[in-house]
Amino acid sequence: MRVLVTGGAGFIGSHIVESLWKEGVEVAVLDNLATGKRENVPKGIYFYKVDLRDKEGLERVFREFRPTHVSHQAAQASVKVSVENPVLDFEVNLLGGLNLLEACRKWGVEKLVFASTGGA
């Protein structure tokens, strides 16, 4: 199993990454570091600084890592930001999410776990 964790440098995502890694699963993190921190990702884990809105960047990640599973934790989750900049919220959460789903379909990902919050 090869799991790509989007938002894997964030609080929840990094804990998912650590748990999978300790179980011996091959893990990669995709995060734009807008709110996540690189130091949250354990050494030895593949790390891609890519934004979900970047279709070419996503394509590169899927081509290089070839995930069989995706845990989608990335989001613009700040209610304050969503009120102040609803276009950014839409682009990250909807268009970025759609880009990820399309990459999963194209590259034959077996399973996708989607996390959400009231703020996203």
Segment 63-73, tens digit of pLDDT:
999 999 999 99
**22-52 residue pLDDT tens:** 999 999 999 999 999 999 999 999 999 999 9
Distance separating alpha carbons of residues 108 and 36, to the nearest angstrom: 27
Which residues touch 94 (CB under 8 Å, ≥6 apart)?
Answer: none
Count of Cβ atoms closer than 10 Å to residue 2 Cβ: 16
Considering only the C-alpha atoms of the chain, give the largest distance between any 2 of them, rounded to a whole number of Å. Answer: 42
Domains of the chain: 2-114 (3.40.50.720)
Mean pLDDT of 82-104: 95
**Per-residue pLDDT at 119 exceeds 80:** no
Alpha helices in 50-108 (DSSP H): 55-65, 79-84, 86-90, 96-106
